[in-house]
């Protein structure tokens, strides 16, 4: 048995065939945590006893029976798995029952054994929360970030600790780490997965759970295991026709693919990001798809300003009651304090107006997709940022998000599809001359998840990426923290 030669589906097949046991796979994952995690600081709150207990009791005969797995340390409420949510304020929170999503992951047979790091509140494109006593680093280059907010998940999978990990995406938080870490990441259509019972929706419906994986089939099988609303959900996604795994069994029909190699407002991007798009367009053209230059027309600037207001309000909601009168400066990081202050300037009417602008944007994007079936763009405007660039040091939340050196110029593509609710994926098709991954984004109309994932699988088969791995991390020289 070679752990590195198999994705999560492949490891489950080894267990099914009796060629590996769940305990052996967990042993391997824990050994890799011990040897590789010190360099990247991605895996936290390990609960080996809980994982061994689940194995002893007998794992469900799901599609991932016996495969070791990690939950993001944000959301994914799980009995026996305390959470910090990326913050000293919420450190060691425990839960009386599993979230619906975690219950479905357990039913799939996964062996959950710990969590992965996230930035405080999930509001940054880097993962450097103070509660973890140091930044999370990119296995491809330890001086760079794996992204955020599912940065720990991306780093753990890229480092080979686990073949797949849970993440979530409210503004690119799966696709950014996928791009930065050379992985596949799929953000499904809004409300595809359950949010209950602890929440009705995240960030006005813009946030959704998902996964960081090495293969399209792992993402497909994980999403099939988790899709569908929980009882009492405020709204549901359009039903899948056959399911994700069935969709990847054959290529899609030939598609009209719009290609955007600038930002959606026409600004240039880094040459590697543009080159990644050009390479992907040539590949898709060779596969017989119809390729055309295209830039979606919508109020992108108005959307991101509404997003910033909604996220500030969501951040404040998670902070105020937990502070319970304690001074914010002692418990939360500066950017979160800035979000709290910004939220205080917004009225209920302002919040509802922001929601209305997001809904209007979704209609604009639906219209923008009428001439095309798929939009190809960069995931990011630059390759992975250096450690420290997006640390939460400033209390100017709006400037952190929208300023000339802020998150929006760095990541101007992903948030569009959180706002519109459309499915979008990051595919690892390009590396810089210095060896840093650069992903491309494919996005589809609302509800067309199966078309999108079938195309992703076709691209993966035409240009495989599974065996491209980050440099060894066992007992490296650790750089000084930034």
| Residue-range domain boundaries for the chain | 3-302+332-462
Token pair belonging to 272: 């590697």
Token pair belonging to 481: 């923290």
How high is the pLDDT of residue 188? 99
How high is the pLDDT of residue 479? 44
Token pair belonging to 274: 């543009």
The CATH H-level (homologous superfamily) assignment of domain 3-302+332-462 is: Amidase signature (AS) domain (3.90.1300.10)
Buried b (16+ CB within 10 A) or exposed e, 161-171: bbbbbbbbbbb
Q: How far is CA 157 from CA 3, 69, 146, 466, in A?
A: 12, 10, 11, 12
How high is the pLDDT of residue 471? 96
Radius of gyration of the chain measured on its C-alpha atoms: 21
Inter-residue contact 127 to 3 (CB < 8 Å)? no
Question: From the centroid of its chain, how far is CA 468?
Answer: 20
Buried b (16+ CB within 10 A) or exposed e, 38-69: ebbbbbbbbbeebbeebeeeebeebbbbbbbb
Q: How many CB atoms lie within 10 A of CB 2?
A: 7
Token pair belonging to 203: 């960030």
HSE of 26, CA atoms in CB hemisphere, 13 A: 22
Query: Which is catalytic among the residues 72, 168, 187, 470?
Result: 72
CA distance 305 to 432: 31
Strand order in the sheet with 374-378: 164-169, 208-213, 184-187, 424-431, 437-443, 374-378, 256-259, 290-293
Inter-residue contact 99 to 194 (CB < 8 Å)? yes
User: Would residue 85 show up in a list of annotated catalytic residues for this protein?
Assistant: no
Inter-residue contact 286 to 279 (CB < 8 Å)? no
Inter-residue contact 206 to 419 (CB < 8 Å)? yes
User: Would residue 336 show up in a list of annotated catalytic residues for this protein?
Assistant: no
3, exposed or middle or buried, with CB in 10 Å at 0-12, 13-18, 19+?
Answer: buried
For the whole prediction, is pTM greater than 0.75? Answer: yes
Query: Which is catalytic among the residues 173, 219, 336, 426?
Result: 173
Inter-residue contact 47 to 113 (CB < 8 Å)? yes
Question: From the centroid of its chain, how far is CA 239?
Answer: 22
357 three-state secondary structure? helix
Q: How many CB atoms lie within 10 A of CB 462?
A: 12
Query: Which is catalytic among the residues 118, 149, 336, 377?
Result: 149
The pLDDT tens digits along the chain (482 residues) read 699 999 999 999 999 999 999 999 999 999 999 999 999 999 999 999 999 999 999 999 999 999 999 999 999 999 999 999 999 999 999 999 999 999 999 999 999 999 999 999 999 999 999 999 999 999 999 999 999 999 999 999 999 999 999 999 999 999 999 999 999 999 999 999 999 999 999 999 999 999 999 999 999 999 999 999 999 999 999 999 999 999 999 999 999 999 999 999 999 999 999 999 999 999 999 999 999 999 999 999 999 999 999 999 999 999 998 999 999 999 999 999 999 999 999 999 999 999 999 999 999 999 999 999 999 999 999 999 999 999 999 999 999 999 999 999 999 999 999 999 999 999 999 999 999 999 999 999 999 999 999 999 999 999 999 999 999 997 544 444 33
CA distance 226 to 104: 6
CA distance 416 to 438: 19
How high is the pLDDT of residue 475? 52
User: Would residue 149 show up in a list of annotated catalytic residues for this protein?
Assistant: yes
């Amino acid at each position: 048995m070679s752990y590195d030669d198999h994705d999560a589906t492949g490891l489950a097949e080894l267990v099914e065939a009796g060629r590996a046991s769940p305990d052996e796979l967990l042993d391997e994952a824990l050994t890799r945590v011990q040897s590789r995690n010190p360099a990247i600081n991605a895996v936290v709150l390990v609960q080996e006893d809980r994982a061994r207990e689940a194995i002893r009791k007998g794992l469900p005969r799901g599609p991932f029976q016996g495969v070791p797995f990690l939950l993001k340390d944000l959301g994914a409420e799980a009995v026996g798995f305390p959470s910090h949510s990326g913050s000293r304020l919420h450190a060691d929170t425990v839960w009386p029952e599993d979230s619906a999503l975690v219950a479905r992951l357990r039913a799939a047979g996964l062996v959950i054994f710990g969590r992965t790091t996230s930035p405080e509140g999930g509001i940054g494109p880097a993962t450097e929360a103070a509660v973890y006593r140091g930044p999370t680093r990119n296995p491809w280059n330890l001086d760079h970030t794996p992204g955020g907010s599912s940065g720990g998940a991306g780093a753990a999978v890229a480092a080979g600790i686990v073949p797949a990990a849970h993440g979530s995406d409210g503004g690119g938080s799966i696709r950014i780490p996928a791009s930065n870490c050379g992985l596949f990441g799929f953000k499904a259509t809004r409300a595809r997965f359950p949010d209950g019972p602890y929440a009705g929706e995240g960030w006005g419906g813009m946030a959704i759970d998902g996964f960081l994986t090495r293969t399209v089939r792992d993402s497909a099988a994980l999403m099939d295991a988790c899709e569908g609303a929980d009882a009492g959900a405020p709204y549901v996604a359009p039903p899948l026709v056959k399911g994700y795994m069935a969709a990847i069994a054959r290529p899609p029909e030939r598609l009209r693919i719009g290609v955007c190699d600038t930002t959606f407002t026409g600004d240039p991007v880094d040459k590697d990001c543009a080159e990644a798009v050009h390479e992907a367009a040539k590949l898709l053209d060779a596969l017989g798809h119809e390729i055309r230059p295209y830039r979606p027309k919508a109020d992108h600037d108005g959307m991101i300003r509404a997003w910033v207001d909604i996220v500030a309000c969501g951040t404040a909601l998670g902070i105020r009651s937990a502070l319970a009168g304690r001074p914010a400066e002692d418990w939360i990081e500066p950017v979160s304090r800035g979000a709290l202050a910004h939220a205080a300037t917004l009225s209920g009417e302002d919040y509802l107006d922001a929601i209305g602008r997001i809904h209007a944007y979704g209609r604009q994007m639906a219209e923008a997709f009428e001439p095309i079936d798929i939009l190809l763009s960069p995931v990011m405007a630059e390759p992975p940022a250096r450690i420290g660039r997006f640390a939460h040091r400033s209390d100017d939340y709006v400037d952190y998000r929208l300023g000339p050196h802020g998150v929006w110029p760095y990541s101007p593509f992903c948030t569009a599809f959180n706002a519109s609710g459309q499915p979008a994926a990051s595919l690892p098709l390009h590396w810089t001359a210095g060896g840093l991954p650069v992903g491309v984004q494919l996005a589809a109309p609302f509800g067309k998840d199966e078309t999108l994932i079938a195309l992703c699988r076709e691209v993966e088969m035409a240009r495989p990426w599974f065996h491209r791995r980050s440099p060894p991390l066992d007992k490296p020289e650790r750089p000084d923290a930034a």
